[in-house]
Amino acid sequence: MQGHRTLRQTSIALSLVAVLALVAAACGGDDDDQPAGNDEAGVPATAEALEVTTWVLTSYADNKTGDLTAASVTSVGTAKFDGRQVAGSTGCNQYSGPYTLGADGAISFGAITTTRMACNADLTTQEQAFLTGLSAARQAVVADKALQLLNEKEDTILLFSPPKGAVLEGASWNVLNYRTPTAVTSSILGADITLQFGGGHITGNLHIINGYALKLTASNAGRLASSDHGRHRPDR
């Protein structure tokens, strides 16, 4: 009996050792499967990945030091790709221009045009680095849901993330309802009222069915200006 118990205890002990060895191997395998830095390498961006959202600038390479610098979170830079053109805001001015994307993520940007509003010192630095980054970009990579634009040395020069919520900039918004002092009212049937946000400014158009049109502009200081392009004012 004593011999049988000893044999059984030995078998149990050996089984426990085998289980522990398997657990240790599994833990070690996880480390081998996900080495540090693999997520940062990313994969070449596809047209679908670029065009899926309006990208928000999170970091840019400083033109003097080359170091990645955090972008403004109040005057955000954006990039919206549509297959041929990229457009958005530098955080101060609106910009647009052509680009080409290769199957391997190779990317190049053509001549970029911008509006010419004066920026404060910080936004001027961001804007210059943003435009320089587009000019120097040679590779587009998506890593950990972020878009990286790399230069010829494969250094990240512009870093974008998907928007955390609805992004005002980079889209044209249609007004469906508006609030009066007493109620929420639908827009006039046949009216086309649009707003665009960018660089601390609002622009838009008001087209009424009888041909009346009004162009709206407003700065972040809250001043509203308009220019009347209508043929007829709506009846009152």
Q: What is the pLDDT of residues 193-221, one digit of tens each?
A: 777 766 556 777 666 544 444 554 554 44
Does residue 184 carry a pLDDT above 90?
no
pLDDT at residue 10 in the model: 40
Q: Quote the tokens at residue 46.
A: 């596809």
Cα–Cα distance, 41 to 119 (Å, whole number): 34
Does residue 87 carry a pLDDT above 70?
yes
CB 115: neighbour CB atoms within 10 A?
14
Q: What is the pLDDT of residues 21-43, one digit of tens each?
A: 433 344 444 433 333 233 356 89
pLDDT at residue 51 in the model: 95
105 inside domain: yes
Contacts of 81 (CB under 8 A, 6+ apart): 47, 50, 51, 55, 99
The C-alpha R_g of the chain, in whole angstroms, comes to 28
Same domain (yes/no): 64, 12: no
Same domain (yes/no): 113, 72: yes
Most confident of 21-35, 44-58, 185-199: 44-58
Instruction: Return the minimum-mean-pLDDT range out of 75-84, 127-136, 168-177, 222-231.
Output: 222-231
Domain coverage including residue 206: 172-228
Average predicted confidence (pLDDT) for the chain: 74
Q: How many domains does the chain have?
A: 3
167 inside domain: no
What's the half-sphere exposure (Cβ side, CA atoms, 13 Å) at 9?
A: 6
Same domain (yes/no): 18, 109: no
Q: If you average pLDDT over residues 149-160, what whole number do you get?
A: 97
Contacts of 142 (CB under 8 A, 6+ apart): 42, 43, 44, 45, 49, 148
Does residue 127 carry a pLDDT above 60?
yes
Q: What is the pLDDT of residues 107-125, one digit of tens each?
A: 999 999 999 999 999 999 9
Same domain (yes/no): 63, 84: yes
Query: Residues 224, 213: contact at Cβ < 8 Å?
Result: no
pLDDT at residue 126 in the model: 97
Query: Residues 214, 226: contact at Cβ < 8 Å?
Result: yes
Same domain (yes/no): 30, 47: no
139 inside domain: yes
pLDDT at residue 42 in the model: 83
Same domain (yes/no): 120, 89: yes
Does residue 178 carry a pLDDT above 90?
no
Percent of the chain scoring above 90 in pLDDT? 49
pLDDT at residue 211 in the model: 47
